[in-house]
Amino acid sequence: MARFKDILPEQTGWIHELARSELHPDAEKILGIGTSLDPEQLIEESTVDFLTEIREHIMEYMRIFNGYSEAGKVFQEVKFYNVAQTSADFMIFRSQVKLVFSNSAHGVIQISFARHLRTTVSVDGQVQEELAAPQELFAQLSPFKKVFWTFQGEKVNPEEVAKFYFSEFIRSSRDGKKSKTGNKLLLEQIKTLLQEEGFNL
């Protein structure tokens, strides 16, 4: 059980707000300080916070991953883009594959993959995209006004969401040509080893 001295200062901010309201109760009404428990506002704030945390994790994973690419010489780097005119939506892009995180509706974070199809062009000249079915995270409000996020009914946190989708994105955006070349080379090496061991192939 945590002792009082273990409580971090940022966890007691609400007490300071209560004390200020006691000193200036009229200001609370005029400024709307006491409206922080409005369910819609709580969910909106949590959505931005949750997306921001996912973004921070993914940016760190990108930094480490791209460090191994030797400025794109070894493999293609991951690029990051903010989605225009939104508070926290963003996407990452590599090898014609993009992964988008967006606040698609109140209390909903949508995660979607799309692959640019270079060879298929629509009537209006736009490059087509092959879309995977988007997946969604849903906000839930506890009886004590705490917002938590779920995926398929299970509670999730930003770090595990970021780790899972970043891993899936890297696998999905892997350059197929390089994989085929690497597989061919590996098969040749295995074949040589087997022949050295006396197997007839």
| pLDDT tens digits for range 7-33 | 665 667 778 878 878 887 776 666 555
Strand partners, 168: none
Mean pLDDT value of segment 128-155: 90
State pLDDT tens for residues 64-105: 999 999 888 899 999 999 988 888 999 999 999 999 999 999
Alpha-carbon torsion (63, 67, 72, 77), positive or negative: negative
User: What is the identity of the amino acid at 75?
Assistant: F
Three-class SS of residue 68? Answer: coil
pLDDT score at 179: 47
Is the pTM value of this prediction over 0.95?
no
Residue 186 reports pLDDT greater than 90: no
| Separation CA 123–CA 93 (nearest Å) | 25
The letter for the amino acid at 158 is P
CA distance 118 to 106: 34
